[in-house]
Amino acid sequence: MTQGLDPAAPADPFDPGAEAAAATSAILASTLRGTARGVVVDSPPGAGKSTLVVRAARELAASGEQLMIVAQTNAQVDDLADRLATADPELPVGRLHGTDSPPDPVLDRHAQVAKSTSVADLRDRAVVIATAAKWAYVKDVEPWRHAIVDEAYQMRSDALLQVAGLFERALFVGDPGQLDPFSVVGAEQWAGLSWDPSASAVVTLLAHNPGLPQHRLPVSWRLPASAAPLVSRAFYPYTPFRSGTGHGDRRLAFGVPGDGSGPDRVLDEAAESGWGLLELPARHTPRTDPEAVRAVAAVVRRLLDRGGVTYSERGPQPAPLTADRIAVGTAHRDQAAAVRTALAAAGVPAGPGGVAVDTANRLQGREFDVTVVLHPLSGRPDATAFHLETGRLCVLTSRHRHACIVVCRAGVPELLDEHPSSEPVRLGVTVKFPDGWEANHAVLAHLAEHRVPWRP
Amino acid sequence: MSLMNVLARAEAVAAGRAVPAATVRHRRIAERPLVLVPLTTAGEAGAPLGAMVGTDRAEPTLLVVPQPLDRELRFAFFAGLAAAVLPVVDAYADEVETEPATKNREEVEVCADAPQIVVPNSAALDYVRLLGRSTRYLRTVEDPDAPHPVPVPVPLLGRWLTHYAERARTPGSSLLVAMTELLTRHWATGQSAMEDQHLGALLGWIDPPDGLDGGSAAARAQTGRGPDGLLLSPPAGPATDPVFDNRVLAPALERYDAARSAGATGPMRVAEADVRRLVASQLRPTWDDVWHGVDLLRALPEGAHVEERWKRDRWSFTGHRDRLRAGEPPQPRRDDAVTAAQKLAGRETAQARLYAQEALDDPLVMAARRLAGEAFTGTVLSVEMTWSEGRRPMPRPLLTLTTPDLPQADPATRAYRALPGAKSAQTAEVVSLTPAPGVPAQRGAGGAPAEGPSAAGGGPAAADVPPAAGPAPAAEPQSGPLWQVVVRLTGGMGTGKTPREGSVPEPGDRVTFTLFAHDQRGGPALPEAEATPWTHGGPPQARETAVPEAPDTATAEDFL
Amino acid sequence: MSTTHHTLRERLAALRGPGTAPRPLDARALAALAANPGCRRRALMDAAGVDKGAVAEALGAPARFGQSRFAFSRGHAFEARVKADGCAELLRLLGAEGARAQVPDLAAAGPEGRTARTRLALAEAPRGGWTLLDHPLLAVEVAGSTVFLEPDAVAVAPDGSWTVVEIKSFPILDGAADAMKVGAAARQAAVYVLALDAVEAGRARSAILLVCPKDFSNLPTAESVDVRKQLAVTRRQLARLTRIEEIAAALPEAVTFDPAAPRPELTAAVDAVPAAYAPECLSSCELAFHCRARAREADAVDALGRALRSDLGDLTTLASVRAASCSTAPTADPAVAALRRAAALRAEALAAATGGPA
Ligand code: SF4
C-alpha cells in the first residue's frame, strides 16, 4: 500500500479535492474489500476523520455487515452517533452507554437511534456505538464482523486488549500528532514490549501486525494555507499534508480599525498572516500569570469588539466571528479557570455557546475559527516533559480555521536552550518523533516573525 | 512539586531540621520486620559483595562474598541469604485466618500476617528485584545435568524476592519497602529530593545528633571521611564508595586470591576474615540507620486505612504461597500481554485508592488536596430540602457552603463526603461555584475563623475534619477570598423519602467534600491469556505445552 | 573592549592559567554540556579546558566522583571480548555473522595523524564488504578549537553507511537496560555521529549500535538506539557554544582559573561567572559542592531542586517564600496568594493533628 504513504510532495498543481478523494476511496477499498484484519488511517488535524468514519460506517452497513464503533469519550460517541444518524436517518444505530453516563439528549431527535445500557437490546442494530470503557464490559457475545476504532492513537493498548476480542476486523482511525495516552502509575517495566499496556493502541497493533495497510488523509480542510505548512513540518515531518484551501480562500477582517494597542496589533497581524505572537516582557510567573491571563482576555474581547468577520470557501457571504467560534487553549485547568474569570470580568461569555476555554486535552478534536493560546512555557522557570509534550503544542496550534494567536512571555527560546537534556532512553521503544523540544523551537521560530510586543 | 512541599522544605531550612509531611503513618511497619542491607560489586550485575540481614537489630546475619567474581562463592552467598530469609517467610505461611464466603467466592483462608522486608533505599529495592531475577532460574542439586547446581532453596528465594519486588510496585503496599521512601513520605527536609536518597543524610535532617543541625548532620553523612579516607557514613548501597573499593577492598581481595591460589588455608582464612571485616564496616552503619528509621516511623500513629491496605498485602503473600504450593513454574522473564494489563490496572486502582485514603486519614494530606482544588472544607450556610422527580421521590438536599478553598469543579462534577459510621462515602454533585457575597467584609475580619466555634460545637455530622483548634492563629486568616459552593446531596441518605438521621449536615456544620471517589471499583475483567486477541499477538503458547523459562546460559568463565 | 585584540583561543588560555595544558574535551564532556546548558560557569571552564576537578580541589570542595577499579577492569575486559578474533562478535551483532571484516591499522603519530588515518580508512573502505574501525579518531570544531573524539568503533557496512558502535559494560537484562545509562550512552554516541557528519555529511546512520553484556553473562548482545533526538540537542548546544566569547568578554582581564592561584583569588574568579546550580549537578559536574554551597548561601530555591521553582513565579529565595507565606498585605501575585493559603492550610492541619482527637 503506497498510495497513502508516498511522502513525495504532491506535484503542483495540487488538487486537494482529488487527492483526498483518492485517499478516501483507497481506504474504503481496503476496508470493504481488503483481506487484512486491520486498516490504519492517520489523519492530521481537520482532515475529515469524522466524515471518513461516517462514510465507512454507512458503506459497511450498506453491504449488510454488522458494525461496532469504539470511541474514547462519551462526548465523541454522542457526536459520532449524531453525525451518523443525521447523514443516514434510516440507519438503525444503537448507542450503548453506562448506567451513570446517560447519552446526550441531542440524540433524542433521531428516531432510529436506540439507547441502552445492555448490548443485548442493541444486537439487531446495524451499527452499535460506545466508548472503549463501556465495550470492555461486554462479554460472551458473538463477535462483530467489523469494527471502527476512532481516536485510536489516544486509546491505550490495554483498552484495545479488552475490546479486540469483540470484532474480527477493524478500521483504526486517529491523529498520531495529538496527546499520547498516559498512565498515572509507572509502566517502565513494560517499556519496549510490543504489548506495553500503557502504549498507544496503534503502536501495539502495528508491532504485532506490521503488514497492515496504512493510509493517511493528505489534506487538512480545517487548517488554512498559512498554518498547514508549519503544523505539517513541525509535527508531521514524515507524513506531510497540505491545506485544502489556498492562500486567498480564507480571510479574517475587522469592522473596527485597530487602536494601536498590543491586542489590536496582534489581531491585525493574525488577520494578515494567520499567526500572531503577543509577547509580554520576560518574567518568571506562576501558572496563572495575571498579566498573561488578562492579555488573553483582552485579545478575545477585542476580537469580538472589533466586529470580526470571516470569509471562506464555504460561501461568498462573510460570517460574523461570534464567541462560539473562538477558543482559548491552555496547558492547565487552573489557567483555563483563570481565563474564564478574566473573561467574565471583561464581560465576555465563556462556556457553552460562548468562548470555549479549555485545556489542550479537552480541545482535542475540536475546531474553531480563531484560537488564542496561552503558551504552555510562558513565564515558566523550568520546562518539564509535560510542558514540552509535542502533542500538547500540536493540539493548541491546530484547532483554527483562520488564525491562531499565541500569548507568551519573552524568553522561551532561552528556556528551551537551557533545558537540561538527560532523558532516560528505553531500549526497544520507538522514538516519538519529532520531539517536543524541537517542535517547540520550530513553532517559536515561526511565531517570532509575527511578534507584537505587549503594550496595554 | 506541590507548593505544600515547597513550603515545608523552606520551613525545614529555617528550622534546621526536617518538618512533618504527614501527621500519621501511611505504611505498615511490622512488629518484626526483616531488614536487608545488600552490597554489590561495582560494574558487575548480580555479583553481590555481601549483605546484612535479620529481624533482630542486635544480631544481624552477616553474609560476605570474599571473591565476588567466583561463582561458587556467590552461590554460597545465595544459599546463606535463603537460609536467612526463607525461615522467616515460612513462619508466616501457616498461620491463617478464614475469610467468610461472599456472593462471588467461597470461604478462603488468608495468612494472618505477612513478613515485611525493609531495605535502605530504592536502589537496594531494585537490587532485591535483581537478586530475585538472578536466582529464580538457577538449577539445583536436584537437577542431575546442572553444571553449577545450587542448593534447593535458592530458586525458591528468587521467587519470593521476585514476588516481593513486584508487589513493591503497587502503590501503598508495605511488603517490601525502602526506608528512604518511607521517611520522605513522612518528613520534608531542607535538602533536595535527590539528596534525600542518601539515607544517612536524610536521617541527619530528621533526627540530627546532639549538637548538630540537620544541614550539618547531612553534610557529615554525605562527605565526612575518617582519617583512613573512608566515608563516615558509607553509601547505603547497593553500590560501595569507589574510594573504599580502590583503597582497601581491592587489596584485600587480592590477598585473598593470592592465598587461595597458593592453597594456603591459614592465610586464606585471615584474608577472608579481613574482607568480612571490611564489608561489615560498610554495612553496619546502614543497618543501624534502617533500624533508626524504623523507630522514628513507629512513633507515628498508624493511619486508619493502613490496616485495610496491609490486608491486601496479606492476600498477595497468601496468593504467592498458594502458587508455590501448587507447583507453578517461576515467574516469567517478562509479562505476557494480559498479565501486564492486569498489573497496570491493579496498580492504577491501588494508586487511586491510596490517593483517597491518605487524604481521609491525614489532615495534612487533605490540606494539600484542598490547596490543589481537589477537595473543599466549608461551613454549611443553609440546607434546602428538595426531592428527585419520578415515581419515588428521593431526598436531594441542596447545601450552600462557604469555603476558602477553590475547588476545580465545573457544575455537575461529582463530590464525595465521608459519613461517620457509613461504609461508603456520601455522593453529591456540585451545582454552582461563585465568589461568596460580602467577601470584602469578611476578609480581614476573619470570616472563616468566626465560624470555627460553631463548627466545634456542631453535630456529629461535622466530624469529617476536626476543626482548627480554637486559637490556632494561622487558621484561615485573611488568606484570600471565600467561595460559595452549592452542592446537591445525591446519596448516603437511606432509601426513604426522608433522609436518614444524621446524613444531612445542618447549618453551621463544617464539612469536607472531595472531588475524588473514596472507594475504587476494579474495572472489567480482562480476557484470559488464551484469549489474547490478534491485535496483541494472539494467545501465548498454551500453558500445558509451554516450556518453563530456560535457565540463564552458563558460560565457562562466568564473570569477566 | 580590551579583549578585541585577543583571539578567543588566547583568551581561553589566559583563563586556564599560564602554562597550564588544556584538559581536552571529549565526547563525554561534550555530551555533558547538555546536562546543564544554562550554566555559563561550566560552559566557559569546559571550553577553556580548565580541569574542574583540580579547581574544586583547590577551592576546598573536592568532587566525590571516582570510578571503582572493579568497574573499570570489567569495562576493559568486556570491550576486549567484543573485539576479539577480528571483531567476530561485533560482526555477529551487526547482523553479519560469519562475515570477515577489514580492520585497518589506524596508528599514526599525534591526534592529527590519527584523524587523517581515520579519514583515509573511511574513504578507502571497500564497498560490498565490512570494514571495522577500532578506536578511530575524529575531530570536530567546538568554539574555535579542535576537539578529538574516540568512539569505541565505527562500522562501515557493505552499503557504505557508517554505524557508531558504543560498547558499555552495564547489562541488557531480559531485553531492558538502565534507562539513564542508555540515555547517557545515546548522548555520547550522538557526538560521534556529528563528528562523522563533519567527515562526510549523511553517511553516518542516526541509529547507533549499543553493545552490552547479556543478562548475567559476559556474552555480548546489542540493540540499535535511535539518536536523532540527541543529535538535534547536541547540534544546537554546540552551536550555542559560540556565546563563550561573550561570557569571556564579560569577565575582567585578570581573571584566571589556575588551580595554583591563591584560594581567595580562585574563588573570586569562579564566582565571577554566573552559574545555574541544581541538585543534578551533584552527579554531573566536579564543581557541584562549591556551587551548592554558594547556592545555599544565596538561599536559592534552586538548591532544593529545579522543580520547586515551577509555582513560585519570581520568588527565588527561600526567605521570600517563607515571607510570602505569612504575609498579609493584599496581593495580586497568585504565587503569594497560593503560598499564604498553603501556610494556612498546613497550620490548620498540623493543629488538628496535635489538638484533635487522640
Ligand atoms: S556545578 Fe556549578 S559549574 Fe557545574 S554545572 Fe552546576 S552550577 Fe555549573
Per-domain residue ranges for chain B? 22-101+108-330, 362-442+454-463+476-514
C-alpha cell at B203: 536521617
Average pLDDT over residues C111-131: 93
Verify whether the Cβ–Cβ distance A195 to B537 is below 8 Å.
Answer: yes
Instruction: Answer yes or no: is C348 within a domain.
Output: yes
DSSP secondary structure letters along A45-80 = TTS-HHHHHHHHHHHHHHTT--EEEEESSHHHHHHH
Q: Per residue in C35-67, pLDDT tens?
A: 888 899 998 898 888 899 999 999 988 887 778
Query: Rounded CA gap, B162 and A303, in Å?
Result: 61
Residues A204 and B110: their CA atoms lie apart, in Å, by: 38
Per-residue confidence at C273, pLDDT binned at 50, 70, 90? very high
The yes-or-no verdict on residue C143 having pLDDT over 80 is no
Ligand 1: distance of its center to the CA of C16 in Å?
17
Task: Let me know: does C206 contact C233? Beta carbons within 8 Å.
Answer: no
- The reply to whether C262 and C220 lie within a common domain is no
Within 8 A by CB and 6+ apart from B350, the residues are A185, B170, B171, B172, B173, B312, B520
Residues C277 and C244 in one domain: yes
Separation of alpha carbons A67 and A148, rounded Å? 8
**Res. C253: pLDDT tops 90:** no
Predicted confidence (pLDDT) per residue in A40-88, tens digit:
999 999 999 999 999 999 999 999 889 999 999 999 999 999 999 999 9
Q: Does the distance separating the beta carbons of B344 and A158 come in below 8 Å?
A: yes
Spatial distance between the Cα atoms of B46 and B135, rounded to a whole number of angstroms: 9
Whole-number pLDDT of residue C328: 87
Number of domains observed in the structure of chain C: 3
Q: What is the pLDDT of residue A432?
A: 76
Write down the pLDDT at residue B435: 86
Domain boundary among C229, C261, C278: C229
Q: pLDDT band for C2, please (50, 70, 90 cuts).
A: very low
- List the Cα angle A327/A328/A329 in 5-degree steps: 115
Distance B215 CA to ligand 1 centre (A): 21
Of C194, C229, C264, the domain-final residue: C229
With an 8 Å Cβ cutoff, are B363 and C352 in contact? yes
What is the C-alpha separation between A50 and A239, in angstroms, rounded? Answer: 20
Using alpha carbons, select from B206, B224, B223, B205 the residue that is nearest to residue B215: B205
Task: Return the pLDDT at B1.
Answer: 60
Across the strands, what pairs with A178? none
Is the CB of A191 inside 8 Å of chain C's CB atoms? yes
Please state the atom number of ligand 1 nearest to the C-alpha of residue C36: 5
| Terminal CA-CA length for chain B | 43
Report if residue C145 sits inside a domain: yes
Q: How far is the C-alpha of C322 from the C-alpha of C340, rounded, in Å?
A: 9
Higher pLDDT, B451 or C300: C300
CA of C290 to the centre of ligand 1 (A): 9
pLDDT in the model for residue A142: 92
Q: What is the pLDDT of residues A313-357, one digit of tens each?
A: 888 889 999 999 999 999 999 999 999 999 999 999 888 889 999
Mean pLDDT of A266-273: 95
Ligand 1, pocket residues at CB < 6 Å: C 36, 39, 41-42, 275-277, 281, 285, 287-288, 291
pLDDT > 90: what percent of chain A? Answer: 78
Do C197 and C329 share a structural domain? Answer: no
User: Band of the pLDDT at C16, cuts 50, 70, 90?
Assistant: confident
Chain A, nearest residue to C222 by Cα: A427
Q: What is the pLDDT of residue A50?
A: 92
Query: pLDDT at position C216, please?
Result: 86
The domain containing residue C155 runs over which residues?
Answer: 69-229
C254 & C275 share domain: yes
Q: Residues C211, C77: one domain?
A: yes
Residue C177: its chain A contacts at CB < 8 A?
427
Which CATH number is B362-442+454-463+476-514 given? 2.40.30
Contact between B453 and B470 (Cβ < 8 Å): yes
Residue B453: the pLDDT is 33
- ipTM score of complex: 0.91
- Longest Cα–Cα distance in chain C: 84
H helices present in B372-478, as ranges: 439-442, 447-456
Choosing from C298, C319, C343, the residue where a domain stops is C298
pLDDT in tens, chain B (560 residues): 689 999 999 999 999 999 999 999 999 999 999 999 999 998 887 899 999 999 999 999 999 999 988 889 999 999 999 999 999 999 999 999 998 888 878 888 999 999 999 999 999 999 999 999 999 998 888 888 888 889 999 999 999 999 999 999 999 999 999 999 999 999 999 999 999 999 999 999 999 999 999 999 999 998 888 888 888 888 887 989 999 999 999 999 999 999 998 888 889 999 999 999 999 999 999 999 999 999 999 999 999 999 999 999 999 999 999 999 999 999 998 899 999 999 999 999 999 999 999 999 999 999 999 999 999 999 999 999 999 988 888 999 999 999 999 898 888 899 999 988 788 899 999 999 988 876 443 333 333 333 333 333 333 333 333 333 333 333 344 456 789 999 999 998 988 888 988 899 999 999 999 999 998 887 888 999 889 999 999 988 755 555 667 777 766 665 53
Distance CA A308, CA A300 (A): 11
Nearest residue to A263 via CA among A440, A452, A16, A83: A452
Please report all neighbours of A, defined by 3+ CB atom pairs within 8 A.
B, C
**Contact C344/B476, CB-based, under 8 Å?**
yes
Beta bridge partners of B376: B513
Looking at the fold, whether C118 and C182 belong to one and the same domain comes out as yes
Interface test with A, best of B133, B490, B535, B536 (most A CBs within 10 A): B535
Average pLDDT score over residue span A428-452: 90
| DSSP single-letter state for residue C54 | H
Instruction: Report d(CA A432, CA A182) in Å as an integer.
Output: 14
Ligand 1 centre to CA of A17 (Å) is 57
Q: Are B39 and B234 in contact (CB under 8 A)?
A: no
CA of B95 vs chain C CAs: smallest distance (Å): 32
> Mutate which of C51, C257, C281 to test ligand 1's pocket (most atoms within 8 Å of Cβ)?
C281
**Which of the pair, B179 or C34, is modelled with greater confidence?**
B179
Chain C residues whose beta carbon lies within 8 Å of the beta carbon of residue B468: 348, 351-352
- As to burial, measured by CB atoms within 10 angstroms (0-12 exposed, 13-18 middle, 19+ buried), residue A413 is middle
pLDDT in tens, C72-109: 888 999 999 999 888 889 999 999 888 888 999 999 98
Q: Distance between CA A116 and CA C320 in Å, rounded?
A: 58
Rounded to 5 degrees, φ, ψ at A327 are -130, 150
Instruction: Looking at the structure, tell me whether residues C91 and C168 fall in a common domain.
Output: yes
Whether residue C161 is found in the same domain as residue C22:
no
Longest dimension (CA), chain B: 96
Q: Please indicate whether, in this complex, the C-beta atoms of C305 and B371 are within 8 angstroms of each other.
A: no
Rounded to the nearest angstrom, the distance between the alpha carbon of C248 and the centre of ligand 1 is 16
Task: Assess if residue C234 is contained within a domain.
Answer: no
Angle ∠(C223,C224,C228) on CA atoms, nearest 5: 145
pLDDT surpasses 90 at A253: yes
* Percentage of chain A exceeding pLDDT 70: 97
Higher pLDDT, C181 or C18: C181
